[in-house]
Structure 1
Amino acid sequence: MAVLAGVLTCLATAGLGRWQLQRADDKLAAAALMQRRAAEPAWTAADWPCAAAGMQPAADLPVDRTARLSGRWLSHRTVFLDNRPMDGSSGFIVLTPLRLSQGPCQGQVVMVQRGWVPRDVRDRQRVPEWQDTDAEVSVPGRVAQQPSRTYAIGDEAVPDVRLHRVIRQNADAAFWQSWLGQAPLAGALLQTDDEGPTGVALLRHWTAPDAGVGKHQAYAAQWFALSAIAAGLTLWFQFLRPLYRARARSLAQPDPSRP
């Protein structure tokens, strides 16, 4: 049983080490893909798949490719996604629908993850106020599979349509259909320029695809070290140590053939 436990421990820890290396390789591959797509021409509203609605990830969305969409902000339907830390501080991610003004998807909306704002420590329900322009804007960014999502316990109730700028954990297609009256197109735009609404500073320190590669490699080294230790202990206590003890006992016993 001890040998079996040692072998299983070795295999399990080695498997966890390989898994961490695979995660590091996946992130490096995602970063390399992002670099290649950054060199490609920016996506526009003419490229966005109009048939894929409901904010579900679409297979033909080139995630992390640069994009530039033209449209008008639906500022009164801005959502502040709660419990989204950035740079070690608590705050909200600002999510605003952009109604496209060009291309085959004209009139439909794409969710734009505009940036991050800190939470008011004195009033946790207070959100910043600003006035977006009513004119057409051109928003640069990167294509994302979907807006930011986090784990939430239970379902969130849909707010009254008369409310503007609400705080939520997540905003799915059913929420937008009820509150906006229109399901957004698949995916989202991760805004990357440094300009924000007048009087509001939005941070855009989005996580890079290769973030955490070193951490995964360090975890892998730890798991492989544990696997080596388990192998060494199993070999020593179950095989080498009994062999040495048996040899020592045989050497300590007197030889009956000697006078």
Structure 2
Amino acid sequence: MSAPTTGRYAFLTNPRWLGLIALMAAVSLACVFLGRWQWTRFEERSADSRQVNAVYDAAPEPLMEALPTLTVRPATLTVRPADEWRPVELTGHYVDDATVVLRNRPVDGNAAAHLVTPFVASGRGGNDLVVVVDRGWIPADRADELGADLPAPPSGEVRLTGRLRLAEDPAGRARPTGQMYTLAPEEVLASAAEVTDLTEVAGLPVLDGHVLAAKESPAPSEPLGGYARPAFNYGMNLSYTIQWGLFSVAALAAVVVLARREAADRSGRGPVRTLSRAEFEEDLEVYQQLRATTALPGGSGGSGGSGVSGVSGGSGARLDRAELEGQGRVIEAAGPDPVRE
């Protein structure tokens, strides 16, 4: 059988300390994971910011030139990450009565309903392309009041200027008729098919992505709210990353500090109590009175002794600094030792 653990930090093996160490290790690990998550968000947002700055102010180019040429029908063109926010121009027409509503997507802190309509963009050689267009937004409560009577897009041939965006993942949940929760092209077209006939676009290739409208010519009869240049506050994510890192280190450091303090207390070398001169004199006087009674060992008082009367005589009549230190605890005074007659 092995000998019991001894040493200054032997107490670390008792259940209370093992539990504390396990708890602080778990807290530290959780802080590490939260810091890594914030770092990932920082990298994503900083990359998005660089992409916006790279293409946002470029001159618009025709959609078919910004994307690969169609060679097979039906086919699907995909907006690439390097194309996101790139300005493009489209010429074609909106599908009649096919406007649907994107819900739960605030704009600049306002509850908004985005109006989304399929657009048939004309291409070279009759290669038309169906493009989902987010035309703008209206207040969410107004969309509820209007119901199906939503502001219509311009009719006939339209010249549209907008910005490319990546396709979103389908929500995969039940939705009200004529509404959706994500800008996934298949979900938008399925929603539009609930409010109008989409026979004219059947078999046409569909852009895997969507376009945020910036300008329509001719202008619509009722203007919609537009979208400002995106801003990315990724500095906040970097700050959170640093904070979680500090919390992780602090959780482990707390165990070290507490262990050192308990080890010092157990060895009798714990923190020294520092008193002011007035506190020292008051404590000394109380201690002398107690020594004059049977309350403390070494007192001269008997069963009939009095704490006050015993101050003037007996072995407990005087108590100097050495006697205080001899009780196993050092008391320091912020000033010279008191002088008594």
- Which range, TM-score by smaller chain? 0.7 to 0.9
**2:264 counterpart of 1:240:** no
Superposed CA offset, 1:10-61 (max 9, x none)? 2320331132123112211221122223365644232334469798955587
**Percent same amino acid at aligned positions?**
21
Distance 1:150 1:253 in 2: 77
Alpha-carbon distance change, 240 to 169 in structure 1, aligned in 2, over 3 angstroms: same
Alpha-carbon distance change, 243 to 82 in structure 1, aligned in 2, over 3 angstroms: same
Alpha-carbon distance change, 39 to 242 in structure 1, aligned in 2, over 3 angstroms: same
Alpha-carbon distance change, 113 to 54 in structure 1, aligned in 2, over 3 angstroms: farther
**2:222 counterpart of 1:199:** yes
Alpha-carbon distance change, 143 to 175 in structure 1, aligned in 2, over 3 angstroms: closer
Aligned equivalent of 1:163: none
Structure 1, gaps ≥5 residues long: 160-165, 255-259
Cα shift at 1:113: 1.2
Matches for 1:77-92 after TM superposition, within 5 Å: 77-92=98-113
3-state SS of paired residue (1:120): helix
Q: Which has the larger helix fraction?
A: 2
Distance 1:189 1:122 in 2: 21
**2:130 counterpart of 1:109:** yes
**2:155 counterpart of 1:155:** no
Alpha-carbon distance change, 29 to 121 in structure 1, aligned in 2, over 3 angstroms: closer
Check the 8 A contact 1:72/1:99 in 2, yes or no: yes
Amino acid at match of 1:168: M
Amino acid at match of 2:207: L
3-state SS of paired residue (1:111): strand
Aligned equivalent of 1:34: 52
Distance 1:134 1:184 in 2: 21
**2:116 counterpart of 1:95:** yes
Distance 2:74 2:261 in 1: 66
Alpha-carbon distance change, 138 to 6 in structure 1, aligned in 2, over 3 angstroms: same
Tell me the number of residue pairs that the alignment of Structure 1 and Structure 2 aligns: 242
Aligned equivalent of 1:45: 63
Distance 2:116 2:154 in 1: 16
Distance 1:23 1:69 in 2: 33
Alpha-carbon distance change, 117 to 81 in structure 1, aligned in 2, over 3 angstroms: same
Cα shift at 1:75: 4.1
Distance 1:60 1:19 in 2: 22
Match 2:186 to one of 160, 169, 173: 173
Q: Structure 1-normalised TM-score? A: 0.74
Cα shift at 1:111: 0.7
Alpha-carbon distance change, 212 to 194 in structure 1, aligned in 2, over 3 angstroms: farther
3-state SS of paired residue (1:70): strand
CA RMSD, Structure 1 to Structure 2 (Å): 3.7
Between 1:191-200 and 1:92-101, the stretch displaced more is 191-200
Check the 8 A contact 2:79/2:207 in 1, yes or no: no
Q: Whose relative contact order is higher, 1 or 2, with alpha carbons under 8 Å and at least 6 apart?
A: 1
Alpha-carbon distance change, 135 to 64 in structure 1, aligned in 2, over 3 angstroms: same
3-state SS of paired residue (2:161): strand
Based on CA coordinates, which of the two structures has the bigger radius of gyration? 2
3-state SS of paired residue (1:21): helix
Aligned equivalent of 2:41: 23
Amino acid at match of 2:179: I
